[in-house]
Structure 1
Amino acid sequence: MLNQDQLSQYQAQCNVLYHAIYFEPSDVMPDRLRAVDVVHSWPQTGAADARAAGLALLGEALAEDNDTLLPRLKRDFTELFIGPVELKVIPWGSPYLHEKRLLCGPSTQALVQFYQHYGILVTTQLNEPVDHIGLMLSVLSSLLEQEVDKQDGAALEVLRVLLAEHLLPWSPRFCDKLANAAQTPYYRGLALLITSVLEGLKQDLGVQPLSLQLFQ
């Protein structure tokens, strides 16, 4: 069982990764990561190999000044997640789980019902499906924060179901595609850090993900 410090470490990681992967790049995140010397201060929870490799790539990216780094990050972010041509990496879960690669497929509706059942509110930047991996990381962060505050196990049980049924069935494929498609060490590093956190939570909480067919 994870102790309070470990839960807090996972919460902090999920929160940083949510902001880094969901929002369009600006100078805010690189500056914050440099300010805390992220390569050396990143928590030690999670899968060690993926964490070490991800932090090395992140450190490589952050060694550039923002004038050089940000144009590359914005171009990479656009090509990966926005288009206008076919996205290199789809950040929503449904196209991985639906044979026609539809947004807002049955898996999205199941996630909406799951959130409604547990009173989980998700604020999107745009009118978009709630199964964006960044938004799901934000929910993980909130649940971990609740567990740290209340220490009653209730939020962890919700988190286990979220991981097993709604995120882990497809997130490894997303991370693999991101690591292979990204043109910057920044986004390749984020792919590995997301892998580290999710694999760590899976192992540390004893989560058994559903085995579902993937279409991406």
Structure 2
Amino acid sequence: MLNQEQLSCYQAQANVLYHALYFEPSEFLLGQFRENDVAKSWPETGEHSCRSRGLALLEQALTESDDVLLPKLKIDYTQLFLGPGELSAIPWGSPYLHEKRLLCGPSTEAFAAFCQHHGIEVSTQSKEPIDHIGLMLSVLGSLLAEEIKQENGVPVKVAEDLLREHLLPWSGRFCELMVDGAQTPYYQGIALLVSSLLDGLKQELDVSPLSLQLFQ
């Protein structure tokens, strides 16, 4: 069982990575990273190697000024997650788990049913599938925050189910594709930090993810 400090660290990481993956790059987030000296202030929870490499890449990217960095990041974000054209790292789970690589496949429906069952509301920017990795990290962060408040083991058990059934079966492949497809050290670093977060929780919560065939 994670202690309160560990829960708080993982919750903070999940929240930051949700914003980094789900929303387009912004001066605000870059400013927050610089203001807080992200390489030194990032919590020391998660898998060590990926965390260290990810923070080094992020620190490298942030040496550039916003007027130089932001245009590069917007191009990278578009190619990775939005298109047009083939995406370098599809951010929704269903195409990884469906043989026809469909959006809104059975895994999307299963995640929606999971959220409904547990009374979890997922807020999207538009009419899009809710199994976006950024949104899933947001749900994960919310569950860890609830555990911090309740201290009864119930929200963290739901978080374990989220990881086991809906996120870990495909997130590793997503992170690999993001590292390979990213053209900036910023997004390579973000991918490694996601890996660090999820691998750390997998180990510390002793979660064995469902073994599902991947199609990406």
TM-score normalised by structure 2 residue count: 0.99
Quick one: which amino acid aligns to residue 21 of structure 1? L
1:98 is the counterpart of 2:98: yes
Distance 2:181 2:130 in 1: 23
Distance 2:177 2:46 in 1: 20
1:75 is the counterpart of 2:75: yes
2:198 match:
198
CA deviation after TM superposition for structure 1 residue 41, in Å:
0.4
Distance 1:126 1:190 in 2: 23
Unaligned runs of 5+ in 2: none
Distance 1:213 1:199 in 2: 19
1:155 match:
155
Distance 1:201 1:59 in 2: 24
Distance 1:71 1:121 in 2: 33
Where 1:5 maps in the other structure, the secondary structure is helix
Q: Where in structure 2 are the equivalents of 1:18-167 lying within 5 Å?
A: 18-167=18-167
CA deviation after TM superposition for structure 1 residue 125, in Å:
1.0
CA deviation after TM superposition for structure 1 residue 85, in Å:
1.0
CA deviation after TM superposition for structure 1 residue 6, in Å:
0.4
Quick one: which amino acid aligns to residue 68 of structure 1? V
Quick one: which amino acid aligns to residue 123 of structure 1? S
Distance 1:173 1:126 in 2: 25
**Large movers: runs of 4+ above 3 Å:** none
Distance 2:21 2:60 in 1: 17
**Per-residue deviation, residues 105-136 of structure 1 (Å, max 9, x unmatched):** 00000000000000000000111101000000
2:180 match:
180
TM-score normalised by structure 1 residue count: 0.99
Distance 1:111 1:15 in 2: 19
CA deviation after TM superposition for structure 1 residue 97, in Å:
0.1
Provide the aligned C-alpha RMSD in A: 0.5
CA deviation after TM superposition for structure 1 residue 88, in Å:
1.2
Quick one: which amino acid aligns to residue 82 of structure 1? L
Where 1:169 maps in the other structure, the secondary structure is helix
CA deviation after TM superposition for structure 1 residue 26, in Å:
1.3
Count of residue pairs brought into register by the alignment: 216
Distance 1:181 1:205 in 2: 30
Distance 2:10 2:111 in 1: 22
Distance 1:143 1:199 in 2: 17
Distance 1:57 1:109 in 2: 36
CA deviation after TM superposition for structure 1 residue 2, in Å:
1.1
1:207 match:
207
Quick one: which amino acid aligns to residue 80 of structure 1? L
Distance 1:86 1:7 in 2: 37
**Per-residue deviation, residues 79-120 of structure 1 (Å, max 9, x unmatched):** 111111111110000000000000000000000000000000
Distance 1:198 1:54 in 2: 14
